[in-house]
Amino acid sequence: MRFRSALTRAAALGAAAVLAATALTACGDDGGATSEAANPYGLLQAGVLRAGTLTDAPPNVYLKDGKFTGFDNDLLTAVAAKAGLKVEFVGTDFSALLAQVNNHKFDVGSSSITITEARKKTVDFGNGYDFGYFGLDVPAGSSISGFDQLTGKRVVVVQGTVQDDYATRENLNPVRVPDYNGAINQLKAGTADAWIAPAEIGDTSAADSGGKIKVAAKQLSPAPTAYAVAKGNDKLREALNKALDEVIADGTWSRLQAQYYPGRPIPADFKPGSGTVAVPSPSAAS
């Protein structure tokens, strides 16, 4: 009898252990499902989109009175709101931005990032939200009036930009600087003959230079700009694409275009977002 009783107790303890393990496994499954539901886009912090951006590139992305603003950043704030997210902006250098996005230091990169095949090897891109021009800024009094006059000149570019790519491709042996202020200071000091810049940033820099810098020429950039996300984060990319179409449809995109780029013509073949949404005119959006 004692032997049978011991067997019964052992069986009971074994059954209890199995039930406890099953309960723990079930709790673990629920925890994972709950975590994914609370943070479906795999953000660094649930509900908060941590965005890497720049501080010195108006009117696209810049810091004003302690607040990150500019066309790209204001648009991202509106896009994030449609997706139920808040944005936390953090300043960085453009040359490091894409690697930081893919290494998950940031959830998204916001800095008028032109889509290129080379960059697609590092990050994934959402749908294009803007077009752009290359601008050629030169010191006041310079005789340079076009991109075809840069051979043999000291040409400055921001490292890692498509302007850097262009200057390298054209064998201009460019001088690379980490940020836009560095390029502007070289022109003001006369240590550079020209700066190839995003045209909107070049325009603003010339206007704010006190007559020391002028815009010599412009040419259309070959590809649209888009927000960058880490490779494989399709849920976040798709959510941002959907939300971008919504802010295009409700007039926010047109309003911000008119605010930051007044009078800038939109190329006839450029369609922001998925290209399937009607774009209200700036007057209708205001």
Indicate which CATH number applies to the domain containing 160.
3.40.190.10
Let me know whether 163 and 264 are in one domain: no
pLDDT for residue 62: 97
Q: For the chain, how big is the Rg over CA atoms in Å?
A: 26
| Chosen domain end from 220, 252, 270 | 220
Let me know whether 211 and 239 are in one domain: no
- Establish if 195 belongs to a structural domain: yes
Q: What is the DSSP letter of 119?
A: G
Q: How many domains does the chain have?
A: 2
Crossing angle between the packed helical segments 71-82 and 252-260, to the nearest 10 degrees: 170
- Establish if 141 belongs to a structural domain: yes
- Establish if 8 belongs to a structural domain: no
Is the Cβ–Cβ distance between 75 and 252 less than 8 Å? yes
- Establish if 93 belongs to a structural domain: yes
| Chosen domain end from 171, 204, 220 | 220
- Establish if 238 belongs to a structural domain: yes
Dist CA 160 CA 182 (whole Å): 14
The pTM of this model reads: 0.82
pLDDT for residue 33: 59
**Which amino acid makes up residue 245?**
D
Q: Within the chain, which residues score under 50 in pLDDT?
A: 1-8, 10-28
Let me know whether 94 and 142 are in one domain: no
Let me know whether 103 and 231 are in one domain: yes
- Establish if 74 belongs to a structural domain: yes
**Of 84, 96, 85, 51, nearest in space to 70 by CA:** 51
- Establish if 199 belongs to a structural domain: yes
- Establish if 126 belongs to a structural domain: yes
Domain that residue 180 falls in? 133-220
pLDDT for residue 34: 63
pLDDT for residue 284: 55
